[in-house]
Amino acid sequence: MFLPTLIFVPSLTALAVLVCKGLKQVRVVALAGSLVQLVLSLLLFVQYRQERNAGNDAQWLWEWDYTWFEPLHINFRVGVDGISIAMILLTAFVVAAGVLVSWTMEKLSKEFFFLLIFLGMGAYGFFISLDLFTLFFFLEVAVIPKFLLIGIWGSGKKEYSAMKLALMLMGGSALVLVGVLGIYFNSDIGNGQHSFDLVAIAQTGISPQAQNIFFPFAFAGFGIFTALFPFHTWVPDGHSSAPTAASMFLAGISMKLGGYGCLRVATYLMPEGAQTYAWIIILLATIAILYGAFATMMQTDLKYINAYSSVSHCGFVLLGIGMLTQISITGAVLQMVSHGLMTALFFAAIGMIYERTHTRMVAQLGGLLKVMPFISTVFVIAGLCSLGLPGLSGFVAEMTVFVGSWQNADTWYRVATILACASIVVTAVYILRATGKAIMGPMSNAYDNLADARWNEKLAAGILVIGILAMGIAPFWIQDLVKPGTESIVQRLLGF
Amino acid sequence: MADYSYIALVPLLPLATFVLLGLAGKNRLVKWSGYIGSATMLGSAVISLYAAYQYFFVNGKTGDAYAEITALRYTWLEFAPGLSIDMGIILDSISVMMLVVVSFISLMVHIYSVGYMKGEERVTTYFSFLSLFTFSMLALVVSSNIFQIYIFWELVGVSSYLLIGFYYQKPSAVAASKKAFIVTRFADLGFLVGILILAFYSGSFDIGTIINRATDSQSEAFTGLVSAGFLGMSALTWSLVLVFAGGAGKSAMFPLHIWLPDAMEGPTPVSALIHAATMVVAGVYLVARLFPVFYIDEIAMQVVTYVGAISALVAAIIACTQTDIKRILAYSTMSQIGYMMFALGVSGYGGEEGLGYTASMFHLFTHAFFKSLLFLGAGAIIHFVHSNEMKDMGGLRKWMPVTHITFLIACLAIAGVPPFAGFFSKEEILLAAYQSDKIVYGIGLFVAALTAFYMFRLYFSVFWKKEAADASHHGEGTWSMKLPLIVLAGCTVVVGFIHFGNYISSDGAPLPTHFDIRFSIAPVVSAVAGILLAAYLYKKESDRPAKFATALGRLYRAAYKKFYIDEIYLFITKKIIFNLIGAPAAWFDRNIVDGIMNLLASGTARTAALIKGMQSGRVQSYALYFFGGVVALAILLIYIWI
């Protein structure tokens, strides 16, 4: 497959959206574009399997290289392994669902859909980049639309949230930039030449001293994107002020850019640094998991509940990475995919409920199952996925993280693992509290005439539920997909 | 070796029903859902019975002992070579027995539900959840992999949650469903960590491999498990106690039992299937499944024994004071499971020593029949009087003859009166306890008397006591409700005569059980004493029960209040977890962590204003300064400090 297609399709879609007139044209074009992209991503997955089955064991598939700026050795270099493909699949699912739930976005619809597609394009570009400079470029591409999406289409204290999110993520980007520059100036790909090329740097390596200095920058920078404690406070405000599709994108895609970066840039390129700082990562991740879960328990707004629970769930991603075992890192990737699908579904359901009842406060809702069985079922499925019910994706991901973490035989890491496991109880508490109050229980008469989901909402939820079930019922395919990628990371951790 | 792969159909049939009815939604298939559910269950039950016949009588034995047959195995998730979650079907004497019990009782409950749930709005949903439960339970009992058990363990938990909360508009049902899920989830945490420990040392999730490696004193796994320790207990003890905690949560053992009485909020047939006959014995089954490993660890065995014995006693005492008939039955279930648990705890492994194991499984088997019969009978009674409270009942024998007789049979069985099923199994349990631990035997004997007392208190209060108002205008219930009662009553009379030791024993070899009339005297006398006391107090309306309660004073009140265990839990969760952990965490996040972030931002803005007077308010320019500074910092770092 010609990988730049994955960037061209959304770019073309975004341009086409700009020349369209009216909501009706815009949304059809946006949907068509995102469905094409979904098909392409599935095709990519199928072709990947074919290549691997045919015995192609190259680390990167379909590499493509275009020199962008010769003096600084900046190339537009792309290529994918299983981890990238998993993330691309996730992005395609979430983008399609996000476009579908925004079907009736009347306000500035052209700009709205443009930004959505543009954000998606940034994510695709990020996931296929093999050059640190382009990777950073696409990271920024994915940040800026978020500011506008929240600031313009948001609700509540949207200006504050948009500013907070933009500043914190830019702070994260700044740290990433330091890390990237540090890697660049310490790389040596022969003749004392520096390079942004991820593949070349991985082959030649960086000195351990430099790794110990720059690993924290890169990891913390990407970590901010994925709600690393204590830099997670943009998450609750940002998510809850954002319009539904933007919340889905934020939690489903943006937070994954961070996890992917932590893995691909920080851990892969600086394995010694990762080993030095593993204990801090594990400490912060464990805090995020438990503290996030307890904080979630006290929330009264559905979006805040899901946002705080994202802090807790993304802690599993960081924990999996910090444990540095093959299984735990695989678990981290699975958790990224699973959390992306689940949280997008959750936000979609919350958005549908909010649109009808005009409230997100748990205390004001009640018994919605009676009038909106479909939406309620979707909410419950997302909730059960969040609390790690077998058969849904969350279970597979969390168990892989737990089993992988346990392989790290350090006693304190074991304690961290047990504490992380304990969060599944707290998760059950907050999920069942919200479900018991909002979905079950007596219903207020004011909701008597509310309608259930429309076709576009059903389709959006359906896409995400299929993803969740596919991963939850038959996890072997995604495991096979991700494993070679994590193996190459672990090999570097073990010093080849 | 015979091919048993057709057994996959046993769980798959209910799964198909679940998918079909689940996709149909609440409005379609309303008329047909009960029949579809029952028909597929009939299929499952017939296949299970056939498989049981094949296994026990035709080709299950290798040499003299029943062998373990792997009928199917499929790798579901491979973490590392050797360390994988396999989905499979394993047949040995206990899994075949459980297949029969689960599919048969589920069939009875399905048939009963057709009548009981008639006219309910969400019948389709009801039957789809019931099928989901049956599927998960059947897949649980045939698991060959400990993670497979865990997976279906969670799935039976969620089915139970969904069914307890079936009347979702009732706040008490919602609260009960939440409580059931969260309490068992808490216990499952122990189970999960236990699995992680066991699997780490034995290098496998496969139960057979774990047992082989952990019980072989020459193996690396064994040395690892015994030598590694934490807080003074070996890894082996920790893992087994934690796994047992999971089992204790599911089986409502003290002190994790608080969810079971509340779970009675669910429809009564659900209580019969899930909260009496099948899911709640999963904990016992789990211990039995890992029995060879439990057996080598003395502390774990002691824990099993005493948790079981205490649960049996506490539950029986509480049951004597309750007034809601379903709650009485719930406590009675807990008490009977306590019997099964301590029977395992006092058991040895292999040969004559393994009597407790056989007795435990025997009691699990007989209990499934008479307890589901009791619940289904209670359902018929509740259907008839529209109340759960005993004070609203009395004299019902006249209007509900079938329910009356079948209920009486079940009461006699659970009380341990010969020749009904409960007598034989309880007898074996007491004998096993007598041979190994006299204290436990004493508790068991006392609980036997209490059991007889509270069951007949219930029986006399419902069917005798006062004259019932004329209720000839509405009948006892449809045939679909009566038929299961009659069938189960028949089973309750018959199954006690099975020579259980011939088929199920700790090591698979036949265990001859002797029946000693002299040993039976004590249990039977105490049962009869309990019945007579109940008859004296409750057969006719009188002030005797009140006087009796006053005479017991504090003990009565404490038992009536369920020993305040719920209040203790409430204190811990509300006061400690919510107010001392949750609320401060949320406050800390909003005020301290976020406060610092905001302070940083406003500090930066103010500094910028002071220095440059260029407060443009545009994020772009802020970002530009930010990046400028960062690049400068990077250059400093790279060229000067290094």
For residue B500, give every residue at least 6 positions away whose Cβ sits within 8 Å of its Cβ, in sequence order, or none. B358, B361, B362, B365, B425, B428, B513
Please report residues of B whose CB lies closer than 8 A to that of A384: 158
Which residues between 466 and 495 in chain A have a beta carbon less than 8 angstroms from any beta carbon of chain B? 475-476, 479
Closest Cβ opposite residue A369 in set B168, B177, B622? B168
- Most A CBs within 10 Å, among B638, B639, B640, B641, to test the A interface: B638
Cβ A403–B199 below 8 Å, yes or no?
Answer: yes
Amino acid identity of residue B204, one-letter, is S
Which residues between 378 and 407 in chain B have a beta carbon less than 8 angstroms from any beta carbon of chain A? none
pLDDT at A496 over 70: no
Could you tell me which residue, B550 or B458, shows the higher pLDDT? B458
For residue A311, give every residue at least 6 positions away whose Cβ sits within 8 Å of its Cβ, in sequence order, or none. A227, A229, A232, A235, A236, A288, A292, A295, A296
The predicted model gives B403-427 an average pLDDT of: 88
Question: Using CA atoms, how far apart are residues B164 and B182, in angstroms rounded to an integer?
Answer: 13
CA distance B39 to chain A (A): 26
Tokens of B451: 């059991």
A276, A182 Cβ separation under 8 angstroms: no
CA distance A29 to chain B (A): 31
pLDDT digits (tens, 9 = 90+) for B124-168: 889 999 999 999 999 999 998 999 999 999 999 999 999 998 988
The predicted model gives B389-402 an average pLDDT of: 80
For residue A325, give every residue at least 6 positions away whose Cβ sits within 8 Å of its Cβ, in sequence order, or none. A404, A405, A407, A408, A490
pLDDT digits (tens, 9 = 90+) for B109-122: 999 999 888 888 88
For residue B130, give every residue at least 6 positions away whose Cβ sits within 8 Å of its Cβ, in sequence order, or none. B37, B106, B109, B110, B113, B159, B163, B270, B273
Cβ A425–B185 below 8 Å, yes or no?
Answer: yes
A110, A232 Cβ separation under 8 angstroms: no
| Per-residue pLDDT, B191 | 93
Cβ B77–A210 below 8 Å, yes or no?
Answer: no
ipTM: 0.91
Cβ B627–A298 below 8 Å, yes or no?
Answer: no
| Per-residue pLDDT, B372 | 92
Please report residues of B whose CB lies closer than 8 A to that of A388: 154
| Per-residue pLDDT, B615 | 52
CA of B231: which chain A residue's CA is closest? A411
The predicted model gives A123-148 an average pLDDT of: 89
Cβ B634–A178 below 8 Å, yes or no?
Answer: yes
A441, B168 Cβ separation under 8 angstroms: yes
Is residue B199 less than 8 Å (CB to CB) from chain A? yes
Question: Using CA atoms, how far apart are residues B381 and B471, in angstroms rounded to an integer?
Answer: 12
| Per-residue pLDDT, B240 | 92
Tokens of A423: 């969060």
Cβ A432–B178 below 8 Å, yes or no?
Answer: yes
Question: Using CA atoms, how far apart are residues A348 and A245, in angstroms rounded to an integer?
Answer: 7
Rounded to the nearest integer, the mean pLDDT of chain A is 89
DSSP label at residue B253: -
CA of A434: which chain B residue's CA is closest? B178
pLDDT at B269 over 80: yes
Asked which of A104-113, A335-344, B610-619 is least confident by mean pLDDT, the reply is: B610-619
pLDDT digits (tens, 9 = 90+) for A348-378: 999 999 988 888 888 888 888 888 889 999 9
Please report residues of B whose CB lies closer than 8 A to that of A404: 79
Backbone torsion region of residue A324, taken as left when φ is above 0, otherwise alpha when ψ lies between -120 and 50, otherwise beta: left
The share of chain A scoring above pLDDT 90, in percent, equals 43
Is residue A22 less than 8 Å (CB to CB) from chain B? no
A148, A183 Cβ separation under 8 angstroms: no
For every residue of B87-110, DSSP letters joined together read EEEEE-HHHHHHHHHHHHHHHHHH
pLDDT at A83 over 60: yes
Please report residues of A whose CB lies closer than 8 A to that of B26: 373
Question: Using CA atoms, how far apart are residues B192 and B32, in angstroms rounded to an integer?
Answer: 40
Q: Is the peptide bond before B255 cis (omega within 30 degrees of 0)?
A: yes
Match 């590694």 to its residue by tokens: B228
pLDDT digits (tens, 9 = 90+) for A157-188: 888 888 888 888 888 999 999 999 999 888 88
Cβ B154–A407 below 8 Å, yes or no?
Answer: no
Q: Is the peptide bond before B419 cis (omega within 30 degrees of 0)?
A: yes
pLDDT at A203 over 90: no
Apex B255 CA angle, B439 and A384, nearest 5: 145
Is residue B619 less than 8 Å (CB to CB) from chain A? yes
Closest Cβ opposite residue B623 in set A170, A175, A230? A170
Rounded to the nearest integer, the mean pLDDT of chain B is 85
Which residues between 222 and 251 in chain A have a beta carbon less than 8 angstroms from any beta carbon of chain B? 230-233
Q: Which residues are registered as beta bridge partners of B465?
A: B540
| Per-residue pLDDT, B526 | 87
Tokens of A164: 């907070």
Cβ B152–A390 below 8 Å, yes or no?
Answer: yes
Closest-CA residue to A492 (of A59, A88, A185, A132): A59
Is residue B228 less than 8 Å (CB to CB) from chain A? no
Question: Using CA atoms, how far apart are residues B73 and B86, in angstroms rounded to an integer?
Answer: 6
A389, B158 Cβ separation under 8 angstroms: yes
Closest Cβ opposite residue A425 in set B182, B199, B589? B182
pLDDT at B298 over 90: no
Tokens of A219: 């990891």
- With bands split at pLDDT 50, 70 and 90, how would you rate the model's confidence at B609? low
CA of A473: which chain B residue's CA is closest? B76
Cβ B582–A163 below 8 Å, yes or no?
Answer: no
CA of B585: which chain A residue's CA is closest? A295
The predicted model gives B528-537 an average pLDDT of: 85
Domain ranges of chain A: 5-494
Tokens of A230: 């204590």
CA of A366: which chain B residue's CA is closest? B169
CA distance A350 to chain B (A): 20
**B638: part of which helix (H) or strand (E)?**
none
Could you tell me which residue, B162 or B584, shows the higher pLDDT? B162
The share of chain B scoring above pLDDT 90, in percent, equals 30
Burial class of residue B245 (count of CB atoms within 10 Å of its CB; 0-12, 13-18, 19+): buried
Is residue A170 less than 8 Å (CB to CB) from chain B? yes
Please report residues of B whose CB lies closer than 8 A to that of A395: 151, 154
Is residue A130 less than 8 Å (CB to CB) from chain B? no
- With bands split at pLDDT 50, 70 and 90, how would you rate the model's confidence at B477? confident
Give CA B266 to chain center in angstroms: 15
The predicted model gives B60-77 an average pLDDT of: 83
Q: Where are the beta strands (DSSP E) in B295-453?
A: none
Asked which of A228-232, B59-63, B171-175, B246-250 is least confident by mean pLDDT, the reply is: B59-63
Tokens of B22: 């689940």
CA distance A5 to chain B (A): 30
Please report residues of B whose CB lies closer than 8 A to that of A174: 626-627, 630
pLDDT digits (tens, 9 = 90+) for B209-241: 888 888 887 877 777 777 777 777 888 889 999
A220, A228 Cβ separation under 8 angstroms: yes
Tokens of B592: 């301290």
Is residue B630 less than 8 Å (CB to CB) from chain A? yes
**Helices B93-116 and B479-494: crossing angle, nearest 10°?**
150
Q: What is the pTM of this model?
A: 0.91
A373, B26 Cβ separation under 8 angstroms: yes
- With bands split at pLDDT 50, 70 and 90, how would you rate the model's confidence at B471? low
Please report residues of A whose CB lies closer than 8 A to that of B75: 476
pLDDT at B642 over 60: no
pLDDT digits (tens, 9 = 90+) for A373-395: 899 999 999 999 999 899 999 99
Is residue B121 less than 8 Å (CB to CB) from chain A? no
Is residue B177 less than 8 Å (CB to CB) from chain A? yes
Give CA A27 to chain center in angstroms: 24
Asked which of B331-335, B368-372, B399-403, B544-548 is least confident by mean pLDDT, the reply is: B544-548
For residue A417, give every residue at least 6 positions away whose Cβ sits within 8 Å of its Cβ, in sequence order, or none. A319, A323, A402, A405, A406, A408, B196
The predicted model gives B59-71 an average pLDDT of: 80
Please report residues of B whose CB lies closer than 8 A to that of A370: 169
Question: Which range scores top for mean pLDDT: A333-342, B111-120, B564-573?
Answer: A333-342
The predicted model gives A289-315 an average pLDDT of: 90
Please report residues of B whose CB lies closer than 8 A to that of A72: none
Cβ A391–B155 below 8 Å, yes or no?
Answer: yes
Question: Using CA atoms, how far apart are residues A400 and A418, in angstroms rounded to an integer?
Answer: 14
